[in-house]
Amino acid sequence: MKSCKPPILLVEDDQVDVLTTRRALKEIHVTNPLVVCENGEEGLAWLHDNAEVPCLVLLDLNMPVMNGIEFLEHIKRDARLRRIPTVVLTTSEEQEDKVRTFDLGIVGYMAKSVDYRRFVEVMRSIDLYWTMSELP
C-alpha cells in the first residue's frame, strides 16, 4: 500500500548519521517515509525517477561523487524541484559553505551534533517548522 504522506529525502553518505536520523525521526513520531541516497548524484537520480516530490530534503554537504552544493545547484535549476525545502545537516562550519548554500536557496543550515539528545532537538525543530509552514 502506498503511503499517503510524502517522503523525506535524506542525502547522506555516513551510515551512522543515517541510522541516527532514522532513530531521531522515529522518536519524534515523524511518520513520513525516509528515502536515503548516499550522494548527490544518487539523490538527483531518485528525484528524476520518481513522480512524487519529497516534502523535505535533508542534505549533507561533504559526500563523494557529487557533494551537497553540487546537488543544490542541480535541483535549483529544475522548475519541478527548486521549491523543495532543503535543510543542510552538516559538520561543516565553513562560512563559505553557509553563504553558498543560502545563496542556493536552502531554508536552514544545522550543525550535526555528536550529542544524540541535541540532534533529536534539531530534528524536532525542523519537524515543528515544516509541519506549521505553508508551502506554495
Domain ranges in the chain?
8-128
Per-residue 3-state assignment (H helix, E strand, C coil) for 76-128:
HCCCCCCCCCEEEEECCCCHHHHHHHHHCCCCEEEECCCCHHHHHHHHHHHHH
C-alpha closest to that of 20 among 105, 112, 88, 130: 112
For residue 50, pLDDT beyond 50: yes
For residue 135, pLDDT beyond 70: no
The pLDDT of residue 27 is 93
Q: Which residues are within 8 A (CB) of 12 and not within 5 positions of it... i.e. 6 or more apart?
A: 18, 21, 36, 37, 38, 58, 59, 60, 63, 89
Give CA–CA dist 67/18, Å, rounded: 16
Mean pLDDT within 45-57: 92
The pLDDT of residue 132 is 57
Q: Which residues are within 8 A (CB) of 112 and not within 5 positions of it... i.e. 6 or more apart?
A: 17, 89, 90, 91, 119
C-alpha closest to that of 67 among 40, 47, 87, 31: 40
Quick one: DSSP state of residue 59?
E
For residue 3, pLDDT beyond 60: no
What pTM was computed for the model? 0.90
The pLDDT of residue 1 is 36
Q: Write down the CATH number for the domain with range 8-128.
A: 3.40.50.2300
